[in-house]
């Protein structure tokens, strides 16, 4: 039985407390002290009686906490955090600062099983899924260091829908009014595109944003740069998106990493336009971020601009995400790149 109180929803805590002699309302004290006051230990939850706190501890309950190993600050203001969990597994999170908001990109797995060719994390060995508490605590630790977090993107290390249950639990914890109370419309799940999981996500009836990594609009190219493209064809992915939109009426964002000579031609743009026809969708073009062990190059900015113009003229709302955090390897696709550097140099001392 899971004993980490940070993993539990308020409803689960409400079921637990009477079993230990507490009252249902005590659950809200625990939940709010963990997620708004950042309580690190049960004894810090002072509204609970000493007797109830003792019973919780004697029963093996605890509050987990990520260890901040290192913090990196890019000249553009982006901040990368290296966190270590109780078993020594490590993940990275990234804070992107804007004039009126702070967005944190969090990890859901230590490593990744998806193996996308252009992504540094995909070249790391998969270690394990993160618990909901470990996913949520990235937001807590970043807020502790840098102040209020307004937006959360499940787009760090790992595939959120490959760790489905813990990702959904983390969404509910972050959104709950007794905790961080981050609005659903300020939460985003990013996936490389697992059709069955996208359909399952539609049934959650959430107002959370969905972003799908497309990166190519033909099966052959997509399979070369994304392992999942060899498992699920584009017609399967798009069928799941149509089912998702039929149930939710929500727009879907498609992320498209611009890789020179691979997926950035006018013909590629025409394929994207044809593929997305009839969908309520927008496209986010991502300037490719190089990392060790990958020979891909970024499309030049004129080519990115041309690609964007073609999509916009076809009526597809399109934005461009230019590199941020590149100097500290915190840009999209670079999480874990520092570890790859050290593996190649023979340094196994950590981050």
All domains of the chain in start order, with CATH: 5-58 (1.10.150.530), 67-345 (3.20.20.70)
Residue 257 is among the residues annotated as catalytic for this protein: no
Nearest to 74 by CA among 342, 351, 330, 343: 330
> Does the annotation flag 134 for ligand binding?
no
Residue of 14, 92, 287, 326 with catalytic role: 92
End-to-end CA, the chain: 32
Residue of 105, 192, 257, 332 with catalytic role: 332
> Does the annotation flag 49 for ligand binding?
no
Query: In Å, what is the CA distance from 75 to each residue of 105, 155, 196, 289, 333?
Result: 18, 22, 41, 16, 19
> Does the annotation flag 278 for ligand binding?
no
| One pLDDT digit (tens) per residue for the chain, 351 residues | 699 999 999 999 999 999 999 999 999 999 999 999 999 999 999 999 999 999 999 999 999 999 999 999 988 889 999 999 999 999 999 999 888 899 999 999 998 999 888 887 767 788 999 999 999 999 999 999 999 999 999 999 999 999 999 999 999 999 999 999 999 999 999 999 999 999 999 999 999 999 999 999 999 999 999 999 999 999 999 999 999 999 999 999 999 999 999 999 999 999 999 999 999 999 999 998 877 667 889 999 999 999 999 999 999 999 998 865 555 454 454 555 454 445 444 544 444
> Does the annotation flag 350 for ligand binding?
no
Q: Count other Cβ atoms within 10 Å, centred on residue 183.
A: 12
SS3 per-residue string spanning the chain: CCCEHHHCCHHHHHHHHHHCCCCCCHHHHHHHHHHCCCCCCHHHCCCCCHHHHHHHHHCCCECCCCEEEEEEECCCCCEEEEEECCCCCEEEEEEEECCCCEEEEECCEECCCCCCCCCCHHHCCCCEECCHHHHHHHHHHHHHHHCCCCEEEECCCCCHHHHHHHHHHHHHHHHCCCCCCCCHHHEEEEECCCHHHHHHHHCCCCCCEEEEECCCCCHHHHHHHCCHHHHCCHHHHHHHHHHHHHHHCCCEEEEEEEECCCCCCHHHHHHHHHHCCCCCEEEEEEECCCCCCCCCCECCHHHHHHHHHHHHHCCCEEEEECCCCHHHCCCCCCCCHHHHHHHHHCCCCCC
Residue 92 is among the residues annotated as catalytic for this protein: yes
pTM listed for this prediction = 0.91
């Amino acid at each position: 039985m899971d004993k980490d109180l940070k993993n539990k929803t308020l409803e689960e805590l409400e079921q637990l407390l009477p079993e230990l002699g507490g009252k249902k309302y005590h659950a809200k004290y625990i939940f709010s002290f963990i997620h708004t006051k950042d309580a690190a230990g049960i004894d810090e939850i002072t509204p609970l009686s000493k007797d109830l706190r003792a019973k919780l501890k004697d029963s093996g309950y605890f509050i987990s906490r990520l260890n901040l190993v290192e913090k990196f600050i890019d000249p553009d203001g982006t901040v990368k955090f290296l966190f270590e969990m109780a078993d020594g597994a490590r993940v990275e999170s990234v804070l992107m600062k804007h004039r009126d908001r702070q967005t944190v990109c969090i990890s859901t797995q230590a490593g990744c099983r998806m193996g996308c060719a252009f992504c540094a994390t995909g070249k790391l060995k998969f270690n394990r899924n993160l618990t909901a508490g470990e996913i949520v605590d990235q937001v807590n630790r970043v807020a502790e260091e840098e102040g209020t977090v307004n937006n959360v993107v499940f787009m760090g290390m790992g595939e959120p829908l490959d760790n489905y249950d813990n990702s959904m639990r983390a969404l509910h914890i972050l959104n709950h009014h007794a905790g961080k109370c981050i609005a659903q419309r300020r939460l985003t799940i990013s996936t490389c595109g697992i059709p069955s999981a996208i359909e399952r996500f539609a049934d959650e009836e959430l107002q959370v944003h969905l972003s799908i990594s497309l990166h190519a609009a033909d099966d052959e190219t997509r399979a070369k740069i994304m392992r999942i493209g060899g498992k699920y064809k584009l017609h399967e992915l798009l069928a799941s998106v149509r089912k998702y939109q039929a149930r939710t009426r929500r727009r879907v964002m498609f992320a498209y990493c611009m890789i020179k000579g691979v997926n950035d031609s006018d013909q590629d743009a025409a394929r994207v336009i044809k593929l997305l026809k009839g969908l309520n969708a927008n496209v986010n073009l991502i300037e490719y971020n190089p990392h060790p062990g990958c020979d891909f190059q970024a499309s030049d900015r004129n080519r990115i601009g041309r690609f964007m113009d073609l999509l916009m003229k076809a009526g597809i709302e399109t934005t461009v995400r230019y590199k941020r955090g590149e100097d500290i390897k915190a840009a999209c696709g670079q999480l874990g790149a520092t570890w790859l550097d050290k593996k190649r140099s023979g340094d196994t001392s950590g981050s």
